[in-house]
Amino acid sequence: MACQATSETYDVVILGGRVIDPETGLDAVRNVGIREGTIEAVTEESLAGARVVEADGLVVAPGFIDLHEHGQHLEAYHAMVQDGVTTALELEVGTEDVDSWYREREGGQPINYGVSIGHIRVRMDVMDDPGEFLPSGPGGHQAATPEQIEEMAARIAEGLEQGAVAVGFGLAYTPAASAKEFEALLRVAAEHGASAHIHVREGPEGATKAIDAAAKTGSALHIVHANSSGGPETVEFLRRIEQARASGQDVTTEAYPYEAGMTSIQSAFFDDWKEWEDDEFAKFQWVETGERLNRETFEKYREAGGNIILHERTEQMTRDAIGHPLTMIASDGFLVNGKGHPRTSGTYSKVLGKYVREEGLLTLMDALGKMTIEPARRLQARVEAMAKKGRIQEGADADITIFDPETVRDRATYENSTLPSEGIHYVLVNGEFVVDDGQLISEARPGRPVRAGTARQ
């Protein structure tokens, strides 16, 4: 990196930290100078700043980029930033109205934010589904007419023209959506240079169907939560993605470091619940109370609606996904009024603490690559802003996470999902502190919209 004149004064200087930049492979003690939200110096030379952070013994990394975060509100943003996240994107479910979604967040948020135009949400709107977040009626269970598919395609195109980051799909939540419908909408994504972020159904076979449809339509594909969708067949699930990539197809994937998932109890996932054996219900945990369910309580809560945690995978399945060289890290997080899954608050610190420091499943460089540069690369062809994120380099956005590699760990649990992580000392978003010496600055609002068509908004 170029040396900077010592007479210059920066807004913020980070001194003597272990700077890790996965894109260039830099892993060395450096000083970092920040001015007006941009990294202007990464150097061995001494620097002067209006605010100086002594980072001896700490890692200075790009801020973490979460491609799969449903909690797009203040409570969730505060939980995520204390886990080192500086950009959180809702790209699986997405929204049915891109302009309105961004308008609702105008005026600043603690971290950077963005959204996809979502097939699930558009389908619900077109088919008058009564569900609040996911389909609970015709949006999930009714086949679309040719006219309805045409309307969905037009609305997805409109959302992309409004700057949606990507196109979201959840075929597991819309089982009535045909291959013809899926392919028609993938073509819209391809025409706009947008990646398709999809929750597949049917394990490895579902991954293959999505990969084949993407190849047929020429669309870039990102398959969400390989550990959740792959389950007992996670290794084979990932092998299908490897094969597609080896053939030259643009396919990526992600995973989160927990054995349990979470979703709506009214999801089409559970339409066959009346056919289950009695002992099947005990793997479900009601988020509001923490109780494990039985047939009677499952029926009661399904009628009322709400979220459940599914304890259905093993630690080995998680390790298979997190340790695979192709997977990015993404939380699939969601919080409502202090209740949810610990992955919103602890995903990134859990990877760094458990799978890097304690178990050595990943090197620190590889783990940070999965959290920073790889998510940025996934999106930057369409979203210019992402070319300045996920990097500790001169000219990059000053989205920076500074943590102690010896103490970083998650604390959130299934019963207390909002406990903040430990070991995250500082988080800067566009050059402004949102976590300062381990403390959340609750009033900080430096986050900007991440939106296609504009480098910085």
Does 171 reside within a domain? yes
316 and 329 co-located in one domain: yes
- Point out which residues pair with 397 in neighbouring strands: 38
Token code pair at residue 171: 């075929």
207 and 323 co-located in one domain: yes
Does 448 reside within a domain? no
CATH number at residue 55: 2.30.40.10
78 and 57 co-located in one domain: no
120-156 pLDDT, tens per residue?
A: 999 999 999 999 899 989 999 999 999 999 999 999 9
Question: If residue 34 lies in a helix (H) or strand (E), which one and from where to where?
Answer: strand 26-35
Q: Specify whether the CB–CB gap between 434 and 111 falls below 8 A.
A: yes
Determine the Cα–Cα distance for residues 28 and 59; give it in Å rounded to an integer: 10
Does 268 reside within a domain? yes
377 and 245 co-located in one domain: yes
pTM score, whole prediction = 0.95
157-197 pLDDT, tens per residue?
A: 999 999 999 999 999 999 999 999 999 999 999 999 999 99
311 and 399 co-located in one domain: no
Tell me phi and psi for residue 180, to 5 degrees: -65, -45
Closest CA to 379 of 91, 111, 38, 169: 91
Does 344 reside within a domain? yes
Determine the Cα–Cα distance for residues 156 and 5; give it in Å rounded to an integer: 50
399-455 pLDDT, tens per residue?
A: 999 999 999 999 999 999 999 999 999 999 999 999 999 999 999 999 999 999 844
- Position 2 scores a pLDDT of 36
351 and 427 co-located in one domain: no
3-state secondary structure of 99: helix
Does 449 reside within a domain? no
Q: Specify whether the CB–CB gap between 280 and 304 falls below 8 A.
A: no
13 and 105 co-located in one domain: no
Domain tally for the chain? 2
Does 450 reside within a domain? no
Amino acid at 452: A
Does 292 reside within a domain? yes
43 and 127 co-located in one domain: no
- Position 455 scores a pLDDT of 40
- Position 7 scores a pLDDT of 56
- Position 136 scores a pLDDT of 87
255 and 349 co-located in one domain: yes
Expressed as residue numbers, the domain containing 114 is 65-384
Last residue within a domain, chosen from 384, 412, 430? 384
Closest CA to 347 of 23, 67, 92: 67
3-state secondary structure of 12: strand
CATH number at residue 365: 3.20.20.140
273 and 236 co-located in one domain: yes
Q: From first to last of its 457 residues, what are the pLDDT tens digits of the chain?
A: 333 344 579 999 999 999 999 999 999 999 999 999 999 999 999 999 999 999 999 999 999 999 999 999 999 999 999 999 999 999 999 999 999 999 999 989 999 999 999 999 999 999 999 998 999 899 999 999 999 999 999 999 999 999 999 999 999 999 999 999 999 999 999 999 999 999 998 899 999 999 999 999 999 999 999 999 999 999 999 999 999 999 999 999 999 999 999 988 988 879 899 999 999 999 999 999 999 999 999 999 999 999 999 999 999 999 999 999 999 999 999 998 999 999 999 999 999 999 999 999 999 999 999 999 999 999 999 999 999 999 999 999 999 999 999 999 999 999 999 999 999 999 999 999 999 999 999 999 999 999 998 443 4
Q: Specify whether the CB–CB gap between 154 and 125 falls below 8 A.
A: no
- Position 271 scores a pLDDT of 87
122 and 268 co-located in one domain: yes
CA atoms within 13 A on the CB side of 19: 27
Does 233 reside within a domain? yes
327 and 413 co-located in one domain: no
Last residue within a domain, chosen from 337, 357, 384? 384
